[in-house]
Amino acid sequence: MAKIAASQSGAVLAKSATVASQKGNDMPRTWHDDSGAASLNSEGLPNAGIDYYISTQTIQETMGDNPSNKSYMVSISGKTLAENLEMLKKITSAIQDGDQSANIAAVELNLACPNIVGKPTIGYDFEQMEDVMKQVSSLPCFTSDKPLFPLGVKLPPYFDRPHFEMAAAILNKYKHILSYAASINTIGNALAVDYHAEMPSVRANNGYAGLSGPAVKHTALANVRQMRELLDDAIDVVGVGGVQSG
């Protein structure tokens, strides 16, 4: 993360965290097309655990002197709703009790990864998405006149207009706590085959993985445009996916 902080990036967003650290899926879990047009990944959320990403030491070591005053942001992707709520409480304590030189500027709630075993990705299960947002909004850090910290959400890609509308309708209900929506996550269930080995190029999940890279740019652009049309003006839209410059 220190390399990102030292780059020309506008901010640093930490890797999506779970409550406990985890190694992720077996290797190989990524694949890159020789032309550079596409990549696949089935990482399995490898991360150091939420306590690492919100510690004063980690933030200070990541940001360094921070002469351009970049923001440090935390991302969470719990295995269950209870884990997400637990991590938000931990972040609240870190902000209220921590060293002000290690400031957490915002938190991103990842709705684009599976949350409950046997259920779809949260962003595709609108009943689950509504429940997540409702319970998150009831936490003390969001119930005062001004939220303790800005909250964003990471969204999966949508392909049908009714799905855009349903997702936006839910998010608009929580515009009082929601600062932005990042769109898109990878396009799921892509497959690359190693024709020499006659097997999938990615080992995990029977070879099915998330598609990223330049190949997803036009899907991402359409998602950003439709979300901007549907979301309340109080909610910013952050474009992600296939971006190579700017």
- C-alpha triplet 111, 69, 181: angle, nearest 5°: 20
Asked whether 38 and 215 are in contact (CB, 8 A), the reply is: yes
User: Is 113 an annotated catalytic residue?
Assistant: yes
Q: 1 with 61: CB under 8 angstroms?
A: no
Q: Which residue pairs from 226-234 have beta carbons closer than 8 angstroms and sit at least 24 positions apart in sequence? A: 226/158, 226/161, 226/164, 227/155, 227/164, 227/167, 227/168, 227/181, 227/183, 230/164, 230/165, 230/168, 230/169, 230/172, 231/168, 231/171, 231/172, 231/181, 232/172, 232/175, 234/175, 234/178
Q: Catalytic residue among 113, 132, 155, 181, which?
A: 113
Dist. CA 26–CA 50, nearest whole Å: 22
> What's the CA gap between 32 and 36, in Å, rounded?
7
Which residues are annotated as catalytic?
Answer: 113
